């Protein structure tokens, strides 16, 4: 078997493998992204009052 034939077979095998990888990666990428953006937790508003400390606020919202 000549070197040209071996190179052609390797190139063909490489092209087929690259094509399969491209075709099969599409559904996998779509399956991961199904569902859209994750929902954000509802935000809470708190008005700081005199006497509030950072420690008490952390305990309240933890």
pLDDT value at 55 more than 90: yes
- pLDDT-derived band at 31 (thresholds 50, 70, 90) equals low
Average pLDDT of 25-53? 77
| pTM of the shown model | 0.42
Return the percentage of the chain with pLDDT > 90, whole number: 23
- pLDDT-derived band at 34 (thresholds 50, 70, 90) equals low
Q: Closest Cα partner for 44 from 18, 62, 56, 32?
A: 62
CB–CB of 46/29 below 8 Å? Answer: no
Average pLDDT of 9-34? 76
Residue 51 DSSP SS3: coil
Residue 40 DSSP SS3: coil
Q: Closest Cα partner for 52 from 60, 44, 62?
A: 60
């Amino acid at each position: 078997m000549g070197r040209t034939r071996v190179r052609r077979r390797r190139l063909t095998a490489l092209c087929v493998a690259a094509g399969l990888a491209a075709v099969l990666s599409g559904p996998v990428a779509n399956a991961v992204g199904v569902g859209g953006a994750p929902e954000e937790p509802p935000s809470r508003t708190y008005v700081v009052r005199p006497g509030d400390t950072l420690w008490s606020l952390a305990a309240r919202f933890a």
